[in-house]
Every structure is written in structure tokens, then in C-alpha cells.
Amino acid sequence: MKRPFEVRIVLVRSIYERNIGATSRAMSNMGFEKLILVAPACELTYEAQQTAATGQTGLQNRTTYESWEQFMAQEPESIKICFTARDGKGRQVRDIDDVLTDIADHAPQFQTTSDIPVVIHLVFGPEDWGLAAADLEYANFCASIPTFGENWSLNLAQATLLGMFSLRKAWGGERTTLDGGKKRRAPQGIQGIDPEASLKTWLEEMGFDLTRQRKINVFTVLRRMLLQNTPTKKELVILETVLQQSIRKLREWKEFKNRER
């Protein structure tokens, strides 16, 4: 690819919040963060958070538009790939792999070198009948995910995962590193915030010797408990604030005790 790309997942008139949550989790698997809802037909409650599990970023940072018109007015210029399983009149549906190859080889946006990402909207319809003909009028490309069994209808969350996987397979990206177990990426993107370093400092101020090799390391356990669920930026800031306040209080107490001596 000559240019970087930014993928945004668009769910149109989604009916079930669990599929929105599961889509957020799938996005975290594939390395995408921007989730867009157009005229959602459900409320988002704890069920969506449950199904998002360790992939809360897309769900919590979602953008919601009341209509396609609002979407078109607010979103940047992009290549819109609309997914549909129906191959009706005027839809001109092709397999997603063919669509992605065509875009990479021939789309004008990818024929010049630039540091500005090309925005790609992957658009998925509601669970009952999918995208309507009126929805597809906004599409640059119509794509389908091939199936091989009698049931050609995919669950929405599964369709989003397969769509994102197809894009990663065709256009690449930084793969997750596995080394005897999953390596979780340290939270990034917040200047001056380093929860792991603050947690380590806090434990040392509490008197824990983190240099000793133990079968169960207190730092490792607490890091896993606090950071394994992909906390949001707001949650990381709150955690950092609590740890830094605790460190200051501990140091003040030690200074007071030293003066008493």
C-alpha cells in the first residue's frame, strides 16, 4: 500500500446491542478503534459492555448519527464498502477479496504516496434484512463475504469480524505478538500517563521488593487485574491519579516519621 489507511466500522440500524458489543470486541482483535452507529434501533446497556468484554474501546468511543444525511455531513471523504448478501438488480456485488484488490490496484486515493490516511468505511446493515437499496446508494463498492454451507446469512458481529480480517489479510497491519501467551500492548496515546510505572512505584513505596523472584509476583498480578480489560483513556487517567496521590501520601508519611526520629 502506498498510503496508510484508517478503517471505521459503520453499523446501520442495528437491532441487538449484543452485536454492537461483539463488533467492538472484534475491532480490538483487528486493531481498529472507530465505531459508528447510524440510526441504531436499540439502546446500549450493560449487555453491550458484557459482549464487548476486553474490547471496550470502540463501544465507549462510538459516534452515533441519526441518519445517513448526518453521517455524510460529518464524516470525512472516504471509500465506502457496503456489505450485503443479496445480489439483486443494481447491486453489483463482488466477493470482498476482489473488491479490496480492485481498490488497492486502481483507486486513485492509493495511487499516490502520502502520509494522510485514506478513510475506509466498512458498512453493515441491520440483522433482519441487511442494507436496503437506499443504503447502497451511498456505497462506492458492494461486497459480500463468501459462505460454503446452506446457510448464507451471517451473524452481524461475525460478518464484521470476517470483513475486517479480509481487509487485514489483503492490506496488512501490525500483527499481535504471541510468545508463550498473549502479550498485551501497554496502553498508549496519553502523554504523561504510564500506569505500569506508577503501579510499580506505588508498590515499592508500600514496601514490596519487586526485584525478588517469586512464583506469584504482586506487580504482575495487579497489572493483570487492572489493565487486562483494555481500560479507556478516562479510566487510565483516574487510575494514574489514584496511584500518584497514594505515592505522594506515602512519601509525606515517611518524611513525617523521619522528622519524628
Structure confidence by residue, pLDDT tens digits, 90-108: 558 999 999 999 999 999 9
Dihedral of the CA atoms 175, 179, 181, 182 (nearest 10)?
A: -30
- CA dist 85 → 39, 82, 91 (Å): 21, 10, 10
Over residues 223-248, mean pLDDT? 77
The answer to whether 182 and 40 are in contact (CB under 8 A) is no
Q: What is the pLDDT of residues 17-42, one digit of tens each?
A: 999 999 999 999 999 999 999 999 99
| pLDDT confidence of residue 225 | 77
Radius of gyration of the chain (CA): 23
Predicted local distance difference test score (pLDDT) of residue 197 = 84
**Can you tell me the mean pLDDT for 219-239?**
75
Q: Are 167 and 120 in contact (CB under 8 A)?
A: yes
Residue 254: Cβ-neighbour burial (10 angstroms; 0-12, 13-18, 19+): exposed
Instruction: Provide the pLDDT for residue 77.
Output: 94
DSSP state of 127: T
pLDDT at 34: 97
Q: What is the DSSP letter of 110?
A: G
**What percent of the chain clears pLDDT 90, i.e. is strictly above it?**
55
pLDDT at 249: 86
- Rounded to 5 degrees, φ, ψ at 58 are -60, -45
One DSSP character per residue, 184-235 reads PPPP-S-TT--HHHHHHHHHHHTT--TTS--SS-HHHHHHHHHHTT---HHH
Q: Is the pLDDT of residue 215 over 70?
A: no
- With a CB cutoff of 8 Å and minimum separation 6, the contacts of 176 are 182, 183
User: Domain spanning 5-171: which CATH class is it, in words?
Assistant: alpha beta
Coil/strand/helix, residue 16: coil
pTM above 0.85, yes or no: no
| DSSP secondary structure letter of residue 186 | P
Q: Residue 61 gets which letter from DSSP?
A: T
Query: pLDDT tens digit string along 177-207?
Result: 775 555 555 444 455 667 788 888 888 888 8
Q: CATH 3.40.1280.10 occupies which residues in the chain? A: 5-171
Order the strands of the 5-12 sheet from edge to edge.
63-65, 34-38, 5-12, 118-124, 79-83, 141-144, 93-95
Decide which of 9 and 245 is more confident.
9
CB 98 within 8 A of CB 134: no
pLDDT tens digit string along 138-185?
A: 999 999 999 999 888 899 999 999 999 999 999 999 888 775 555 555
How many other CB atoms are there within 10 angstroms of residue 248's CB atom? 11
Residue 224 has pLDDT above 90, yes or no: no
Q: How far apart are CA 150 and CA 132, in angstroms?
A: 23
